[in-house]
Amino acid sequence: MFTVENGRLLRNGSPFLALGVNYQPSEAGCRIWADWDPATIHADFGRIAAAGLNTVRLFVIWRDLQPSPEKTDAVMLDRISDAVRTAGEHGLACVVSLFTIWMNGQLLDLAWRNGRDVWRDSELLRAEEELARSVAGALRGCAHVLAYDLGDELWNIDRRRARSLTRAEVADWQTRMARAIREESPGALVLQANDLSGTFGSGPYGIDNSAGLDLVGTHGFPVWAPGSIESTMSYKATNLTPFLTQAAGAFGAPLVDELGSYGVDEEVAAAYLRASTVSALANGATGVLVWCWQDIASCAEPYRERPAERTAGLHRLDGTPKPAMRAYQEILAVAGRLRPERGPAGTALYLPERMRGQGDSYLDAAGSGVAAFYAYLLLKRSHLDFDVVSGQLGDRALVICPSVTRLTLADLENLTASALAGAVVYLSLGDHLHAFPGPDLVGAMITDYTTSSEGKTRLHWGDREWPLDWDRAPGPVTTLRTGTADVLATYTDGSPAVISNRVGRGRFVFTNAPVEAMLDSPGRLAATGWQTFYLCVAEFAGVAVTADCPEPDVEIVPGHGADAGRVLAVNHGDRPVRTEVVMRSGAGAVGRPIALPAKGWAFVTFGEKER
């Protein structure tokens, strides 16, 4: 039986990392249940298990199982049950995705839906509950069912109606369907698979609305991501899924139930999988399910409309493995070591309640999800150890709240409580109307806004300076008049750029420059060196980097507790590097030389006296 405890997935009480694939048989594709071929499924599952994988994700094509709202097709249900049981015979866990209409950019729609609302129509809701109960009932007793996914990126079934839902309606729908599943299969885990809009979009559904769910699903495809990702081989691309993992982990136990790349050759696909998967696991993913097992031969829906979807497999049509499969198997060999033991980090990246925006009136600015992604990248490039957090912050030395465009009272309470307890809370301003924390926290007032950036195109802190691109800012340029705050950094015109105000036992560090949002431009992150600004903030907060590397493209993931002597180094760059990993302690610094290929990774070990 699968359970979740403290953000980790357990199987019969022992840690379990779900490492597997999304599965459609090559010949049948999405007609897996209609063109039933149990011999092929049996053979494929045998190969999947022999490759060292432990999980498959299966899609219940809704129209096949429920040809009318009153009828669940018993033959199709038996086939689904047979496939799941076959997986179990091969030692594979199963994620079962219900309500599959949206697939590969096309709607495999119900003939009887007639455009009705999946989330509000009473007849559809009853049919959905019946389908959920039927599948969960048929699979009751299958201890290898890892989780039920309510539906793959199902908000794409009807985006207009989905966006019109309230957060409460989404939560109620998820809870209602999860309840139907658990009525037939007590203790079953439930998740909702989210595309990138679940993190970066402003809809009422997503990672921050996980009521009724046990796992928070997320999908890692850089080609469809915001954030000015320059290419699949770029630094940002392979950091995308780890960021999505940590962001989802702020609200529940994160599962990357889809990961892959499109529009690239086989070597680039392998490089992307290698760095993304290793980093996602090291950053807390309960598992990674790659899209997908094998290239698709089928020419039926949805492949007639989007034939390129047929070439994303880990294996070619003839069954031979692509380089990505070999890269995956290298990860499988050491998977148990890739999720290090972690304690709470001294630094936290804070996700505000309205990070995803949520609102489309003239009062509502865009969300700050992309800015949070850039803050994540800056923290990684500075090699500061950190957690991504929502809600109460706990015991922290440094809190980062980047380019925020909206603060709620709950956000202000969380940030204030952290400062009062002794933390340095850094906040950069994305919207001067709805995200200014107020003069009591900041120790200053905004005098006015302007459309001119004259005199404010560079930020100076001591002997360091960084360029500012106000064309990328979510709001206008503003000017500060300090009260109780001290000035830490200035603009070129001498006006305050970064200020610090005493709040209880801690300090509130504020800049009216949305520096993270300003980095959202191709090439700007690497060219401007803004990670050194974060190091200045960390130094001011008394936070030191303990596991370091001179190369900012190399991610350093330190272990804690029993894993304290082991550091994971991941080269997210597109070129090989020769560098060193440095462990700093009160006794000094110890370096270990390391050579990493592009998108390569390695463990570096330090003795007890060296840390």
User: Mind listing the pLDDT tens digit for each residue in 383-441?
Assistant: 999 999 999 999 999 999 999 999 999 999 999 999 999 999 999 999 999 999 999 99
Q: What is the pLDDT of residues 20-36, one digit of tens each?
A: 999 999 999 999 999 99
pTM (global) more than 0.75: yes
Band of the pLDDT at 609, cuts 50, 70, 90?
Answer: low
Average pLDDT score over residue span 355-375: 88
Provide mean pLDDT across the span 559-572.
Answer: 87
99 pLDDT higher than 80: yes
DSSP single-letter state for residue 410: H
Peptide bond preceding 292: is omega within 30 degrees of 0, i.e. cis? Answer: yes
Burial class (CB in 10 A: 0-12, 13-18, 19+), 7: middle
CB 309 within 8 A of CB 104: yes
- Is the predicted pLDDT of residue 611 greater than 60, yes or no? no
Convert the pLDDT of each residue in 241-298 to its tens digit.
Answer: 999 999 999 999 999 999 999 999 999 999 999 999 999 999 999 999 999 999 999 9
Question: Which residues are registered as beta bridge partners of 190?
Answer: 148
2-337 maps to which CATH number? 3.20.20.80
CA distance readout (Å), 439 to 147, 393, 445, 459, 502 = 48, 22, 6, 22, 12
Helix (H, G, I), strand (E, B) or coil at 61: strand
Closest CA to 540 of 503, 576, 499: 499
Average pLDDT over the chain reads 96
Peptide bond just before 302 cis, omega within 30 deg: yes
Query: What CATH number labels 347-541?
Result: 3.40.50.880
Burial (CB < 10 A; 0-12, 13-18, 19+), residue 109, is middle
- For position 608, what pLDDT does the model report? 67
Q: What is the residue extent of each domain of the chain? A: 2-337, 347-541, 547-610
pLDDT grade for 535, boundaries at 50, 70 and 90: very high
In words, the CATH class of domain 547-610 is: mainly beta
Q: What percent of the chain has pLDDT over 90?
A: 94
542-559: pLDDT as tens digits:
999 999 999 999 999 998
| pLDDT digits 0-9 by tens, 425-450 | 999 999 999 999 999 999 999 999 99
> Of 544, 525, 548, 527, which Cα lies nearest the Cα of 535?
544
For residue 212, the number of C-alpha atoms closer than 13 Å in the C-beta half-sphere is 22
